[in-house]
């Protein structure tokens, strides 16, 4: 059963890597899969995904806690190697994590296993019905049933199941039954159920997100492709979008209010220059905490 799960995930990957997440999946990297995993979790409405997250990463999931898995990049390397056919995946928790990354609908493994089992049982029951009473049905019925079973088998995760169909010798026309509309109707219902279980209907509804655009946050469509090394997509925060800004300062800037509280915050870049912001918080690109302005900083870096 594990091999079937891996097989359908690989087939689903071939589809997804050409879709909306092409930047993250076409040439996957640990950092890219990590960021995509965060994105999938924040968009997920699947309760089981929370359990998969905790089993895979080893700590509890918290909505919008983007920074918690920054140090867990090594756990995504086996997934990258599996997608690139460099190694195999044997642990269910890793396969389930990959299913979240690929947005595979019949996840986790327990759900996939139950669907496959139920579909296989339906197929076997129909085969036994045909095999056990070959003399009580007409040749036309056998052919119809054989076609319907083939359709249902094509919907399973491609398990190799050999068909054993017994076709009786032709009987005189007077001994043949009328066309089996009732039985064909039952088989048609089975086929419809099978199709509904395995058709992947994607959820195209979008939720508001935001990215940093140099001097401010801008709202974007959550379905936009994630660029793991340039623009990190975050859940939309209307207050940050409206109020948080990177600013320029000079000797005319009002750095403190009437009570002496800072009105400007700063962060020093590796090259020694300073960036200034109008509110406290984190530098959007490095995620380092901004510091309140001081008279020393004003004297050394602004007035000079």
In this structure, are 136 and 162 located in the same domain?
yes
Tokens of 89: 């995946």
In this structure, are 138 and 177 located in the same domain?
yes
> Is residue 297 situated within a structural domain?
yes
Distance CA 79, CA 74 (A): 10
Percent of residues, the chain, with pLDDT higher than 70: 73
In this structure, are 63 and 137 located in the same domain?
no
From its phi and psi, is residue 22 left (phi > 0), alpha (psi between -120 and 50) or beta? alpha
Tokens of 165: 């169909």
In the predicted structure, residue 153 carries a pLDDT above the cut 80: no
Tell which wins on pLDDT, 243 or 72. Answer: 243
265: DSSP letter:
E
Distance CA 304, CA 302 (A): 6
Per-residue pLDDT, 173: 46
Q: How confident is the model at residue 202 (pLDDT cuts 50, 70, 90)?
A: very low
Per-residue pLDDT, 137: 54
> Is residue 222 situated within a structural domain?
no
As to burial, measured by CB atoms within 10 angstroms (0-12 exposed, 13-18 middle, 19+ buried), residue 295 is exposed
Least confident range from 37-46, 74-83, 87-96, 273-282: namely: 37-46
Asked whether 95 and 5 are in contact (CB, 8 A), the reply is: yes
Tens digits of per-residue pLDDT, 169-196? Answer: 544 444 555 556 667 777 878 778 777 6
> Is residue 293 situated within a structural domain?
yes
Boundary residue ending a domain (183, 198, 213): 198
In this structure, are 86 and 117 located in the same domain?
no
In this structure, are 73 and 127 located in the same domain?
no
Distance CA 246, CA 265 (A): 9
Per-residue pLDDT, 47: 85
Mean pLDDT of the chain: 78
Tens digits of per-residue pLDDT, 207-256? Answer: 578 889 989 999 888 776 544 444 677 888 889 999 999 999 999 999 99
In this structure, are 92 and 19 located in the same domain?
yes
> Is residue 207 situated within a structural domain?
no
Q: How confident is the model at residue 203 (pLDDT cuts 50, 70, 90)?
A: very low
pTM of the model: 0.42
Per-residue pLDDT, 209: 86
Distance CA 221, CA 139 (A): 57
Tokens of 288: 């380092």
The residue range of the domain holding 139 is 112-198
Q: Where are the beta strands (DSSP E) in 145-224?
A: 208-212, 217-221
Mean pLDDT of 48-57: 88
Q: What are phi and psi of 271, to 5 degrees?
A: -85, 5
Which of 8-12, 113-117, 150-154, 253-257 is predicted most confidently?
A: 253-257
Tokens of 190: 């089975």
């Amino acid at each position: 059963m594990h091999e079937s799960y891996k097989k359908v995930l690989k087939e689903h990957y071939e589809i997804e890597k050409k879709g909306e997440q092409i930047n993250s999946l076409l040439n996957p990297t640990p950092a890219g899969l990590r960021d995509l995993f965060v994105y999938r979790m924040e968009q997920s409405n699947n309760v089981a995904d929370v359990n998969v997250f905790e089993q895979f990463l080893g700590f509890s999931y918290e909505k919008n806690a983007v920074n918690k898995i920054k140090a867990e990049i090594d756990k995504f390397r086996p997934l990258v190697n599996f997608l690139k056919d460099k190694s195999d995946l044997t642990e269910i928790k890793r396969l389930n994590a990959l299913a979240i990354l690929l947005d595979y609908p019949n996840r986790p493994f327990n759900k996939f296993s139950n669907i496959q089992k139920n579909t296989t049982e339906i197929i076997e029951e129909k085969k036994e019905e045909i095999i056990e009473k070959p003399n009580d049905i007409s040749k036309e019925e056998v052919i119809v049933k054989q076609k319907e079973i083939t359709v249902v088998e094509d919907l399973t995760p491609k398990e190799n199941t050999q068909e054993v169909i017994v076709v009786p010798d032709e009987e005189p026309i007077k001994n043949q039954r009328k066309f089996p509309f009732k039985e064909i109707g039952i088989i048609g219902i089975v086929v419809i159920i099978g199709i509904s279980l395995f058709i992947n209907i994607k959820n195209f509804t979008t939720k508001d997100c935001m990215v940093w655009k140099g001097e401010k946050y801008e709202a974007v469509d959550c379905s936009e492709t994630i660029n793991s090394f340039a623009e990190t997509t975050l859940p939309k925060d209307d207050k940050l979008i409206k109020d948080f800004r990177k600013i320029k300062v000079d000797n005319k800037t009002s750095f403190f209010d009437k009570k002496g509280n800072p009105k400007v915050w700063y962060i020093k870049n590796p090259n020694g220059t300073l960036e200034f912001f109008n509110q406290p918080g984190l530098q959007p690109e490095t995620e380092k905490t901004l510091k309140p302005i001081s008279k020393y900083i004003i004297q050394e870096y602004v007035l000079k």
